[in-house]
């Protein structure tokens, strides 16, 4: 894997905290562009780009967490030279969690906070059958129903079929992911979801608190699986609060 893992790299600011952001299945760094413009100046937003999308569209996407985690953590390691937090939405929440687990035993590179969104706790089995193996038309219908992909893009069938391999790979990664036994995290953990998200209930989100010995904070917003699109004000306010707290703890 030769492509860069971060959209626009890192190190462009003197912000005391980096926030690495992992998108939903099929998503890319562009999903977090509003965050770069709206969040605290003390936070450098670093969207992560996985193979198979955006500037890495020519690279094959990973189909399993086990295969992804090694190259991803190797790619992120040079950017862990200052305090950081991890945010993940949906599939990205599982990836962010595993990155946190990978680095938590290294005092110099352990995350200061994990923020997860739109995904049930990692030890919970799915409540629906897997989608990754569906026929193309059925699979694209499911993707459209979940939202997150602009309608004008969904209507361009040739374009969507070009992105099908990466989409399927992401769904397969998420649907086959099972966390290996291991110690609980020690960092603070924040959970976020929409009140009409078909993928996760508030109770399933709350069970993330069993994955860390650190304090857990949970918020539920009005909306579906993509309640966070565009960074609406309630989420914006809560993110600023959590990240401000993390910045203060990091520099104290």
Dihedral of CA atoms 116, 120, 123, 128 in degrees, nearest 10, equals: -150
Q: Which residues are catalytic?
A: 90
Paired with 212 in beta bridges are 185
Q: HSE, CB side, 13 Å, CA atoms: give it for residue 129.
A: 5
Give the separation between CA 211 and CA 22, rounded to whole angstroms.
Answer: 19
Distance CA 184, CA 235 (A): 26
Element (H, E) at 221: strand 216-221
Collapsing DSSP to helix, strand or coil, 222 comes out as coil
The residues, any chain, with a CB within 8 Å of residue 176's CB and separated by 6 or more, are 63, 64, 65, 130
């Amino acid at each position: 894997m030769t492509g860069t893992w971060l959209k626009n790299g890192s190190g462009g600011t003197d912000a005391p905290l980096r926030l690495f952001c992992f998108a939903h299945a099929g998503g890319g760094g562009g999903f977090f562009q509003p965050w770069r413009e709206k969040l605290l100046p003390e936070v450098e937003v670093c969207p992560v780009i996985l193979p198979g999308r955006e500037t890495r569209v020519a690279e094959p996407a990973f189909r399993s967490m086990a295969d992804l985690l090694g190259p991803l953590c190797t790619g992120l390691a040079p950017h862990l030279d200052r305090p950081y937090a991890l945010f993940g939405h949906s599939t990205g929440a599982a990836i962010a969690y595993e990155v946190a687990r990978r680095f938590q035993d290294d005092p110099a590179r352990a995350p200061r906070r994990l923020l997860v969104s739109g995904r049930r706790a990692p030890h919970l089995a799915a409540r629906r059958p897997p989608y990754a193996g569906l026929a193309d038309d059925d699979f694209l219908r499911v993707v459209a129903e979940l939202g997150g992909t602009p309608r004008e893009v969904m209507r361009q069938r040739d374009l969507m079929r070009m992105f099908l391999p990466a989409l399927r790979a992401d769904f397969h990664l998420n649907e086959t992911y099972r966390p290996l036994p291991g110690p609980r995290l020690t960092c603070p953990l924040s959970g976020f979801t929409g009140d009409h998200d078909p993928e996760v209930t508030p109770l399933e989100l709350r069970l993330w608190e069993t994955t860390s010995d650190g304090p857990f904070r949970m918020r539920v917003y009005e909306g579906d699986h993509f309640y966070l699109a565009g960074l609406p004000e309630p989420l914006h306010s809560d993110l600023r609060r959590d990240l401000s707290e993390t910045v203060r703890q990091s520099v104290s």
